Structure 1
Amino acid sequence: MDDLPSEVRAALETAISGNGIALTRSGSPIGSLEFRPIALEGTVIDGPLQPSPPTQIPDGVTVIATTMSLSEAARQRLSDELGTEYIVLDITKAPTSSDVLLTHPVSPQLLGMLQHKFPSARVVITEIEDEELGVRFPGPVSRLLDAGASAYLPPRPIAELARNVHLYLTQREQPTLEQAPRPRHGLSRAEERQIGS
């Protein structure tokens, strides 16, 4: 890295920090680069781990376990927004009988391990971007949108896809690739584009 030109080093540092690099040729997008670390990140803890005391869960409450490293404030906000019928717990404090597992996009292997640990949980994969709470867990869709894609259409049959593409293209004056504005009201770029499409 030290021997690279400063512009190339700056672009790679951007990728290392979690943002993809958009590649263009003659002004046309041709792809993107993403950084995948070869070293595990974390903290080594000496000595045996002390199990957390079990959380008391009232009857009839839906338990949501989150795999993301959320602050207590972010987890509490999520719980408050869901209402009193839900309790949101960190995965390390959630019972294996949790009802829902809320995770950012992960590998199929990790997803299988999570499903093994929480066999009865419905798995909900999400991307999160909340500037107010300092939370950002982008996934492949957000990275592609940040790299310059104009919209994301979820998987649909061909006839429905054609309708959605037509609707998206006719709602805009000129369909062009452009950088997305910052999200509004806690919506991710992907959600804003889905709503706009």
Structure 2
Amino acid sequence: MAGLRSTPPPLDLSAVPPDVRAAVEAALAGAEVPVHRSGRALGVLTVRPAVLEGEVLEAPRLPPPQVEVPEGVLVVATAMRLSREARRRLAGSFGPGYLVLDLHEAPASTDVLLVNPVSVQLLEVLQARFPRARVVVTEIEDHELGVDYAGPVGRVLRAGASAYLPPRPVTAVADGVRAHLEGTTAPALEAAAVTRAELGSAGAG
């Protein structure tokens, strides 16, 4: 019939409502999103390949490769696109007690998930895939290796802010500001202090 498109128009996620964008982002990450109309189920929305913050990643191989992890070694999965050299440098900086793998090569028993700032919906999908992993959100800026995963915190710091304090009670804000002004310690960008020993024991459970 005249007027019908042979292919659907492209979808601009920046132009859709937040709830629609969240649903599509979840589908891009590999989730199955139920589709309804007036309370009636129409089907399930699935999308490939997976997308992290606009970066198109190669779809994971199925089944995932088996990885032999030496006893006492912690597995770190990187959820951002990194070159082979960048991942080699990262692994070298971690040292012999860690095994750094790409997201698609990491086992479900991964101990640490290293991810750039992403949506809450996408983070939930990643946590479901690696239920035992502690999630560490990081911004990376390495001009030598051509890696740039900036986020809102990095942008405001580059714009002139001198420090960032993570969410904390009102009474703890002054301590963080004083520590920054006095240079006694760097503001801790963490939800809770976790030692390497605690991390290993958590993964074992």
Distance 1:43 1:124 in 2: 20
Does the residue aligned with 2:105 lie in a helix, a strand or coil? coil
Q: Which moved more, 1:134-143 or 1:155-164?
A: 155-164
Q: How far is 1:41 from its partner?
A: 6.0
Distance in 1 (CA, whole Å) between partners of 2:147 and 2:178 is: 34
Q: Does 1:144 align with 2:132?
A: no
Residues 166 and 59 of structure 1: is their aligned pair in 2 closer, same or farther, counting only changes over 3 Å?
closer
CA distance in 2 between counterparts of 1:43 and 1:112 reads 18
1:95 pairs with 107, 117, 122, which one? Answer: 107
Does residue 135 in structure 1 map to residue 135 in structure 2? no
Cα offset for 1:44? Answer: 8.7
Report the TM-score when normalising by structure 1: 0.57
1:155 counterpart = 2:155: no
Spell out, residue by residue over 1:69-93, the C-alpha distance to the aligned partner (whole angstroms, 9 max, x if none).
0111111111111111100000011
2:179 and 2:187 in contact (8 A); partners too: no
Q: Percent identity?
A: 53
Matched, 1:61 2:111: no
Mapped to 1, the partners of 2:98 and 2:144 lie a distance apart of 22
CA distance in 1 between counterparts of 2:156 and 2:182 reads: 22
SS at match of 1:92: helix
Q: For structure 1, which runs of at least 5 residues remain unmatched after alignment?
A: 1-39, 172-192
Instruction: Measure the CA separation in 2 of the matches of 1:98 and 1:88.
Output: 10
TM-score, scaled relative to structure 2: 0.55
Question: Over the residues paired in the alignment, what is the CA RMSD in angstroms?
Answer: 2.9
Cα-to-partner distance string for 1:159-195 (whole Å, 9 max, x where unaligned) = 3312433555577xxxxxxxxxxxxxxxxxxxxx859
Matches of residues 110-189 of structure 1 in structure 2 within 5 Å? 110-166=122-178, 168=180
Give yes or no for the alignment of 1:42 onto 2:53: no
Answer yes or no: is the 8 Å Cα contact 2:55–2:81 preserved in 1: no
Q: Helix, strand or coil: the match of 1:151?
A: coil
Letter in 1 for 2:56: G
Question: Gapped runs of 5+ residues in structure 2?
Answer: 1-53, 189-205
Inter-CA distance 49–98: structure 2 relative to 1 (3 Å threshold): closer
Count of residues in Structure 1 that have an aligned counterpart in Structure 2? 133
- Cα distance, 1:104 vs structure 2: 0.7
Change (3 A) 1:161 1:59: same
For the structure 1 residues 153 and 70, does the alpha-carbon distance in structure 2 shift closer, same or farther, using more than 3 Å as the test? same
Q: 1:44 to 1:164 in 2, by over 3 A?
A: closer
1:142-172 alpha-carbon deviations (Å, 9 max, x no partner): 112223334322333323312433555577x
Residue 84 of structure 1 corresponds to 96
